[in-house]
Structure 1
Amino acid sequence: MKLLRVGPTGAERPALLADDGRLLDLSGLTSDIDGAFLAGGGLDRVRAAHALPEITGPVRYGPPVARPRKVVCVGLNYRDHAAESGAEIPDEPVVFMKATNTVIGPDDEVLVPRRSRKTDYEVELAVVIGATARYLEPDQAAGVIAGYAISNDVSEREFQLERGGTWDKGKSCETFNPLGPWFVTADEVGDPQDLGLRLWVDGELRQDGHTKNMIFGVYEIVAYLSQFMVLEPGDVINTGTPAGVALGLGDSAYLRAGMTVEVEIDRLGRQRQTVGQA
């Protein structure tokens, strides 16, 4: 299933993208697609539903998961990206957090922060957690994953790497996590290590990678994180990006107002953002 939220910012309603391309209204089944929906058997209710009303006309796509409690990220998780960043291959996943209010719709405007010189893009596979998880083994991880989505882990590299402290302040600027257009349930996606990832800036292909090249696979990441924090329904995990980010291409490759970014992952759809100025 492809689940999404449509409508104006702050007033999105839950929806299902049918196989024939129609948008179906889930408001009669749930008030939103959030942690409570996932924890309370919401996916099963949608699967059992019949004759859902159709949503017609143009709509804005919001983030497909409402109000995640956590956005947990893994850095340097592709060998080619670690190399272009000048970093050693990590022995364990590199973990950081993004502010949850960075999450926006897949086609919403991305804002270059004030005083920014190095705003960057990163296509990433996002994991949507569907059940509470503590101290998992990797072979248990699939059981707590509700589905997957596209994430653009936007970053300000000067704030992240040149201003001291941890990475968070280069990762948590407003609009820095477009998510969606939908999240696809895990059963429909299949093997998360069999997905191609691509990103274009103004029509130029910048990133062209594959999840088979992750250093730490999806199930290993979920199990690893559960050793250090309780994962909860609706949490989002960004799993890293392949090579081709502006950090590795030089100053002229960073995002500026007026540019367009397009992001795509096999079986998960496509995003398109216009870049603005904060």
Structure 2
Amino acid sequence: MQSQLSFSKQNQTGTLYLVPTPIGNLGDMTFRSVDVLKQVDLIAAEDTRNTQKLLNHFHIETPQISFHEHNTQERIPQLVAKLLAGKNLAQASDAGMPSISDPGHELVVACIEENIPVVPLPGANAGLTALIASGLDPQPFYFYGFLDRKPKLQVAELEALKNRPESQIFYEAPHRLAKTLQHLVDVYGEKREAALCRELTKKHEQFLRGPLSELLEWAQQSDQVRGEFVVIVSGNPNGEQETAAKPDYSNLSIEAHVDQLINTGLRPNDAIKQVAHLRQLKKQEVYQIYHHLDQN
């Protein structure tokens, strides 16, 4: 067991602060977040150009370093070294909470392994902001984020989720919204209640609520399919009974789980990606286990 006292004077390293940024309205930046960004030695930003606009708005002069999905393996050792040397760092994504849809999680894990304090700051989150105004049951809820872009994999993901009793939270880009809604109608049924939440906290914020069939019709015909979307779908009230008939992967090894998906027609790499998503593991980890590669 590891115990972290975030603000102990006995800490021998720097601290990693996870700083949320606004999802649209700059007025949602907290006083504490501004103070931390001013006080740390370095800001690890998903997109330094985007974050610079935020820093300029709040007159923050702290230097930045890029930290995104394409340089994660290179950057993490560098950032951990700075923290071990006593530097304080902030990690910020383009919008919302770090570590949700960006590489922040890997940095958090690396810091925990080195006993470096990781301090999260509360702030804006698109999924929860949408959920509480959706009109659907706010609890329990199941956050999924982005579905796979490949149609076959996306349908497989939805098949695994359709009987869950919780309200479900998805993120989707405007150019893929109609196709994703079509898959939701095909898998969940056209009568399942849902909400589309667009341009949250911005001037053109919009909520569309109704059965999936009506939301699909709007997405196919409207000229307002712009901005990032949060899609909230109501849970299946009969989920517990229907789930009993679903394939149960909990007793399968990772190798057997991948093989089972391959037998349904998926390519090995796609099956590995699907297993990683369903089990909330890294794709590389599943790949190494499946191919019996040395993980050290």
TM-score class, shorter-chain normalisation, is under 0.3
Bigger RCO of structures 1 and 2 (CA < 8 A, at least 6 apart): 1
TM value normalised by structure 2: 0.27
Which structure has more helix as a fraction of its residues? Answer: 2
Q: Which has the higher Rg, Structure 1 or Structure 2? A: 2
TM value normalised by structure 1: 0.28
